[in-house]
Amino acid sequence: MKRIAILGSTGSIGQSALAVVDAHADRVEVVGLAAGSNADLLAAQAARYRPRIVAMATGAAIDRLTAIGLERGVAIGGTGRDGLVAVASHPDADVVLCASSGTDALEAVLAAIECGKTIALANKEVLVMAGGIVTDAAARRGVAIVPVDSEHNAIHQCLHGRGARDIRRLILTASGGPFRGRSAAELERVTADAALQHPTWRMGRKITIDSATLMNKGLEVIEAHWLFGVRAEQIEVVVHPQSVVHSMVELIDGSILAQLGVTDMRLPIQYAFSYPERWPAPLAALDLARAGRLEFHAPDTAAFPCLRLAYRALEAARSLPVVLNAANEIAVARFLDGRIGFTAIPQVIERAMDAHAPVEVPTIATVRNVDAAARAHAQDIARGLELKV
């Protein structure tokens, strides 16, 4: 049995993970669940899966959970980052799925690594903010980090144990989002509702906006650097609207290996749970004849400058990726609130990066300090770009 702790159990990835548990109840057991504020759903999950420990983001959420009631034997691990750490480091967990959004799970992932647990990583911010710290800790403890993002999961499958010296290029595929082919001028008028209509994937609000701006792909470029030990110039992004090829690896002999599959997050989640084994999946097979034509295009970084900014942050290294991530989170939140326009998102990010003098980030405390300062500055920049109502 694989014993699983899920950080972010009420989100889209967390719920897909529990569907994998349902499909493989003889192979997977849930021992920990952590959620944000949805106490009703967490209570239902706890009643169904009977974990040893649960946690939530706030005291108010815990109060609601307590009022609903928990099964005997389910402990409350706490709130916020402390609660995430308690769930991630529970002694009964073998694999920790980090599916919570944002930056709060960073300490929990490091705690799980120190406890020797396999990390199934579905959170981009952990490696974007602290890739060196996390991967160094994993190497020191001999802990595997198995990516759950469909693109990095595809690369992990294609490499199948090959090291960085065998890699010429990693090719990340992008759907292009809902605004593929539009000009920068056309993007000035798009709304949050339109940006949330992703053509192929169903995801949370923040990551869906990141997909629309191509920042999601930019964050994945930074992740790929840390996960696979390759340089920025070895990572390429191509727009693939059909989302059938999830990513590719070009080896030093010129061979290109691709992973194809249906657009269903249960597949990479199951791979992360089962690795290094393979389990049958209760999913429809990919019908290549029906998929038909597969297209690949270069991304338009003039209309979608967030991808260019992510490469800049990776090449500069040190603290600049922290600033990129922090400013993006502030800008996306402002856009979703209707306070800034779509094209203001990269403006906030670029101005925050321009104002920052990169420093080394050897500790989590340094990462947190840079993150807080970048968020405060990005808030000021965003206020200056607010839409006139």
Give me the mean pLDDT over the 222-246 stretch: 96
Give me the mean pLDDT over the 79-92 stretch: 97
The whole-number pLDDT of residue 136 equals 97
Show the tokens assigned to 125.
């911010």
Give me the mean pLDDT over the 203-229 stretch: 93
Q: How does pLDDT run across 88-114, given as a tens digit for each residue?
A: 999 999 999 999 987 899 999 999 999
Q: How does pLDDT run across 314-323, given as a tens digit for each residue?
A: 999 899 999 9
Q: Over 80: is that where the pLDDT of 356 sits?
A: yes
The whole-number pLDDT of residue 199 equals 77
Let me know: does 165 contact 142? Beta carbons within 8 Å: no
Show the tokens assigned to 361.
């980030």
Give dist(CA 53, CA 98) in Å, integer: 16
Give me the mean pLDDT over the 199-205 stretch: 75
The whole-number pLDDT of residue 147 equals 97
Q: Over 80: is that where the pLDDT of 204 sits?
A: no
Look at the block and give the residue holding tokens 């994937």.
Answer: 201
Give dist(CA 53, CA 285) in Å, integer: 36
Sign of CA dihedral 98, 101, 106, 107: negative
Q: Over 60: is that where the pLDDT of 209 sits?
A: yes
The whole-number pLDDT of residue 43 equals 97
Integer Rg of the chain from CA: 20
Q: Hey, what domains does the chain have and what are their CATH numbers?
A: 2-122 (3.40.50.720), 153-384 (1.10.1740.10)
Query: If you average pLDDT over every residue of the chain, what do you get?
Result: 95
Higher pLDDT, 237 or 189: 237
Q: How does pLDDT run across 153-192, given as a tens digit for each residue?
A: 999 999 988 989 999 999 999 999 899 999 999 999 999 9
Q: Over 70: is that where the pLDDT of 296 sits?
A: yes
Q: How does pLDDT run across 146-155, given as a tens digit for each residue?
A: 999 999 999 9
Give me the mean pLDDT over the 57-61 stretch: 96
The whole-number pLDDT of residue 71 equals 85
Q: Over 90: is that where the pLDDT of 389 sits?
A: no
